[in-house]
A and B are shown apart, each in its own frame.
Chain A
Amino acid sequence: RKEVEQDPGPFNVPEGATVAFNCTYSNSASQSFFWYRQDCRKEPKLLMSVYSSGNEDGRFTAQLNRASQYISLLIRDSKLSDSATYLCVVKKMDSSYKLIFGSGTRLLVRP
């Protein structure tokens, strides 16, 4: 079983739609959580960190459920420019600085 699992998608939604992605992680010792965005043929870039209390950045809302070991990302009023692959990332609570990446969920926003 992979340490971080995501639905690969693609999620195909119209502009203006609300879309949500989930991610599950297997290691309960995971400490920190992130969503990265990767455009086609580009490098991954940090979208937002995920905090236990939930956090929002404009149209993006991230939630963490430690008891169920899952992380979610909600995108409201989706734009064409949101089309990308969204990578769920976890960091363990140890002395290493290793990030464990999910395989990503692909989002296609159509006009």
Chain B
Amino acid sequence: DAGVIQSPRHEVTEMGQEVTLRCKPISGHDYLFWYRQTMMRGLELLIYFNNNVPIDDSGMPEDRFSAKMPNASFSTLKIQPSEPRDSAVYFCASSFRTAILSNQPQHFGDGTRLSIL
């Protein structure tokens, strides 16, 4: 079975540019999570969706960040304009509701390594 698929794997861009990260969750999973990982702050939840609806975006750092889930098989995380402090690894994860209730794992994608120059 295909796991969570993220693209691109690596992104290097100049500050001020728009960055779009993409995620395809595991088919049938109804929860999707976006995380950011840095050395300083570790792994932080940015936003999560249930059935394509954003449930909690309290982790989104500021208005420059936005996330959408137009359908069950696709989500984007957009940063506009990007800044050097946005440099991090961004992970997408997905899960079943019942899996969450039974303490089964969230399945993570390989991540996108983002560098803003």
Q: Which residues of A pack against B, CB within 8 Å? A: 32, 34, 36, 42-46, 49, 87, 91, 96-104
The verdict on A43 contacting B103 (CB below 8 Å), with A97-B31, A97-B48, A98-B45 known, is no
A98 to B91, CA, bound (A): 15
Q: Which of B13-21, B64-72, B74-82, B107-115 is the interface stretch?
A: B107-115
A79 to B7, CA, bound (A): 33
CB pair A97 B100 closer than 8 Å: yes
A94 to B38, CA, bound (A): 27
How far, in Å, is B104 (CB) from chain A's closest CB? Answer: 8
A-B CB contact pairs (8 Å), 7 listed: A36-B105, A44-B43, A44-B108, A87-B43, A97-B31, A98-B45, A102-B42
A13 to B95, CA, bound (A): 35
* Total number of residue pairs linking A and B with CB closer than 8 Å: 44
CB pair B56 A42 closer than 8 Å: no
How far, in Å, is A100 (CB) from chain B's closest CB? Answer: 8
How far, in Å, is A75 (CB) from chain B's closest CB? Answer: 19
Does B55 lie at the interface of the complex (its beta carbon under 8 Å from any beta carbon of A)? yes
Scoring B43, B56, B97, B110 by chain A CB atoms within 10 A of each residue's CB, the highest score goes to: B43
Scoring A46, A97, A103 by chain B CB atoms within 10 A of each residue's CB, the highest score goes to: A97
Does B106 lie at the interface of the complex (its beta carbon under 8 Å from any beta carbon of A)? yes
Of chain B, the residue at the smallest CB distance from A44 is: B108
CB pair B103 A104 closer than 8 Å: no
